[in-house]
């Protein structure tokens, strides 16, 4: 488990201009027992598809960082696409994404 996840969980994460690529940009959604937290980041004036997918497995929180090449002119569009891609990956792979 990455430190960035723990920092976010306990409120020690970065904010504003200092925020890194794993900064939440939209509301987390649940899908089939997984949590998808969209974290698109600004790249070349556009927002790149990115999300952190987490699930508790046998008492341990597992996480998978989903990054795709798709870019959008607004953070909102990137958030929507990040959630859609997260659902697709979960539907296709399930817990295999943590391997």
- Give pLDDT tens digits for 35-73: 999 999 998 999 999 999 999 999 999 999 999 999 999
* Residue 13 structure tokens: 């994460």
DSSP 45: T
Name the residue with higher pLDDT: 32 or 15: 32
The CATH number for 3-98, chosen from 3.40.50.300, 3.30.160.350, 3.40.50.880, 3.40.1280.10, is 3.30.160.350
- Whole-model pTM: value is 0.77
- pLDDT surpassing 90 at residue 17: no
* Residue 25 structure tokens: 């940009």
> CB–CB of 50/26 below 8 Å?
no
Q: How far apart are CA 47 and CA 75, in angstroms?
A: 6
* Residue 97 structure tokens: 């994404």
Give one word for 44, left, alpha or beta, with left for phi > 0 and alpha for psi -120 to 50: left
Provide, rounded to the nearest whole percent, the portion of the chain with pLDDT above 70.
78
- Range name among 7-21, 38-52, 73-87 with the lowest pLDDT average: 7-21
Mean of all residue pLDDT scores within the chain: 84
């Amino acid at each position: 488990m990455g430190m960035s996840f723990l920092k976010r969980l306990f409120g020690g994460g970065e904010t504003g201009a200092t925020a890194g690529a794993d900064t939440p940009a939209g509301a987390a959604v649940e899908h089939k027992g997984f949590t998808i937290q969209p974290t698109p980041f600004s790249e070349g004036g556009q927002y790149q598809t990115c999300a952190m997918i987490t699930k508790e497995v046998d008492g341990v929180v597992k996480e998978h960082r989903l990054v795709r090449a798709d870019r959008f002119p607004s953070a909102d569009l990137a958030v929507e696409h990040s959630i859609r891609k997260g659902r697709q990956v979960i539907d296709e792979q399930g817990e295999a994404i943590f391997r």
